[in-house]
Structure 1
Amino acid sequence: MIGEWIASLFAAFVIDPLQADIQQRLEEMKAPVEVVTQAGDCLRTTGPQLIDRATGDLWWAGTTVVYVATGLTSPAELLDAGNPACAPIASYLTSAEAEA
């Protein structure tokens, strides 16, 4: 019961804003269609992993919510670069942030 509550809060405060932020950044950068498709694939696989981690590590979940809310953590930092679906989008966002 508490795990479900934590998962829903984490999804509302981290996963949903993460998805919206990534989509907005890709639109602003006029990213190619394949990058946008990869972002969707990445978020479908990474979202559940982040929620599982949040329910198992409350300290990490709390600090992540604060860091995301204050802008101390960029979306690219939450993406798992080891995940084959996320590596291209993480590197794309990181390189675009470095150029900005």
Structure 2
Amino acid sequence: MIGDWIASLFAAFVIDPVEADIRQRLEEMQAPVQVVAQVGDCLRTTGPALVDRASGDLWWAATTAISVTTGLTSPAELLDANNAACAPVANYLISAEAEA
């Protein structure tokens, strides 16, 4: 029961803001429309895995939420670059951050 509560909090305070932040960053970087459009597909596939992990590992959920909120962890780091839906988004963000 606590795991479900943590999972819903994690989704509300991490997944949703991460999606908004990634979209904003990509638009500011003038990323190709195809990359911006894939953010939703990426988080629909990666989001549930992150929520499952958060519900099973409360320490990870708390530290991840804090580090994303404070900016210590980039949203791109939460994306699964091995996931076909996330690879273009993650690679674009990581390469843009490396150039900055």
Q: What is the rounded CA distance, in whole Å, between the counterparts of 1:3 and 1:62 in structure 2? A: 12
- Which of structure 1's runs of 4+ aligned residues deviate more than 3 A? none
Equivalent residue runs for 1:6-45 within 5 Å: 6-45=6-45
Equivalent residue runs for 1:1-100 within 5 Å: 1-100=1-100
TM-score normalized by structure 1? 0.94
* CA RMSD in angstroms, aligned pairs only: 1.0
Q: Percent identity?
A: 79
Provide the secondary structure at the position in 2 that maps to 1:81: coil
Q: What is the rounded CA distance, in whole Å, between the counterparts of 1:4 and 1:52 in structure 2? A: 9
- Tell me the CA shift for residue 99 of structure 1: 1.4
Q: What is the rounded CA distance, in whole Å, between the counterparts of 2:8 and 2:45 in structure 1? A: 17
Unpaired runs of 5+ residues, structure 2, are: none
Aligned length: 100
Q: What is the rounded CA distance, in whole Å, between the counterparts of 1:29 and 1:69 in structure 2? A: 21
Provide the secondary structure at the position in 2 that maps to 1:31: coil
Unpaired runs of 5+ residues, structure 1, are: none
